[in-house]
Amino acid sequence: MPLSEPTSIVERQIDQWRGYLRRRQAIHAVDIAELEDHLREQIAALAEAGLADDEAFLVAVKRMGDLNALSREFAREHAERLWKQLVVVSGEAVESPVRIRTDAIVAFGLAVAAAVAIKAPVFFGMPFDDAGAGFYARNLSLFVLPFLTGYFVWKRRLDVRTLGGLAAAFVAAAVIVNVWPFAPPGKTGGLADTETLTVLHLPIALWLIVGLAYAGGRWRQVAGRMDFIRFTGELVIYYVLIALGGGVLTALTALIFQAIGIDVEPSLSWLIPCGAAGAVVVASWLVEAKQSVVENMAPVLTRLFTPLFAALLVAFLAALVGTGHGIDIARNVLIAFDLVLVVVLGLLLYAISARDPSSPPGLFDVLQVVLVISALLADAVALWAIAARISEFGFTPNRVAALGENVILLVNLLWSAMVYVRFLRGRGSFASLERWQTDYLYVYAGWATLVVVAFPPAFGYI
């Protein structure tokens, strides 16, 4: 007796099945609709073949497959959906309470270790003041990032060979920045130019090492590197929040101790650096453990600021054309435009990282393209002005570094704009934009390494 209309019992069963699926983070409503259509057609076909409705339902559900296995497959394909809940790396579905507690203990242990490490050189005769400023500035990332890397090595259960490679990278970095014979601080007390460049670029180069540990075995996959980009954005936000809280705490401490006539200044020289170093590990642990508490802040901020920055850049270009003012080539103009490009790239990256890759192009995508193109135009004008007068300036390490960064960012944004426009016109997939951005991580790290390794000898350590 073929039944064309499923009875209400089957409807209830389907409702229940839908309810089970809804609890899976990796399966979205739109997928459930697709799977339900499949289930209904299967039930209809089985009923046609003579099965009773409830039997047909059971067989259809069985053929659909085990829900755990299915949701794992969906999670693998749609990693960005799980990001809010937990990062799937080792394949375990939910972490046990014991594991979560051990995780917290390890993270805090490493945070304390980083806090101690930053002050340890004091006991070996390196004063924590102006005389030791160069040493601490050069080694800042080496006091903190190995502990952070260690946390991920432990968390991802990386093997000994990987561990050896990561350690070798840190040792090599430590040797290089400490053997370069940088020129001593000038009369004003500032560091040598190449030393300042090393201080600024070493963390960028070493951040890639952290990324290798963070992604574990998934570094080669686009999704693994994309997760690392997400992680970086969330970490910055958490760190700023912790720093704000730390600032309030420090200020209050100073105020109330002042009331009873105790000067806390000496202890602040301990509290602030130790707190700042430990907070990096703590913030990373928070991002890992509490992803669902602050719901992806980076993409929210991106949504907020993309239109504003786009408006700013369009207004700048309009003013440039309207008033006919040339760009005033002051000392820092190149750095200012580098920063503009960094911000635009950041907005682009976090918009990409949070976007559902399969949804069709929308208004926000158009805004994104407007932002990128106007940034490119503004930068092109600045570069043009600088190139025209470069002979006047001569090549100092700062200018070469700033120029190199400008070119790197410009190339990235140019290609991104092209891929993005192709995507908007329905000719390309969003995945190729993701691939481009995640592959480009190597370029940043490579350039930063070059600045650290090659610039000081090339410019005579000035």
CB of 69 to other proteins, least distance (A): 8
CB of 78 to other proteins, least distance (A): 7
Residues of this chain that interact with other proteins (CB under 8 A) are 31, 33-35, 37-38, 40-42, 63-66, 69-70, 73-74, 76-78, 357-358, 428-432
CB of 40 to other proteins, least distance (A): 7
Is the Cβ of residue 38 or residue 290 nearer to other proteins in the bound state? 38
Is the Cβ of residue 79 or residue 413 nearer to other proteins in the bound state? 79
CB of 282 to other proteins, least distance (A): 35
Is the Cβ of residue 64 or residue 385 nearer to other proteins in the bound state? 64
Is the Cβ of residue 47 or residue 197 nearer to other proteins in the bound state? 47
Is the Cβ of residue 69 or residue 330 nearer to other proteins in the bound state? 69
CB of 396 to other proteins, least distance (A): 46
Give residues with Cβ within 8 angstroms of 259, minimum separation 6. none
Is the Cβ of residue 80 or residue 405 nearer to other proteins in the bound state? 80
Is the Cβ of residue 239 or residue 420 nearer to other proteins in the bound state? 420
CB of 38 to other proteins, least distance (A): 5
CB of 34 to other proteins, least distance (A): 5
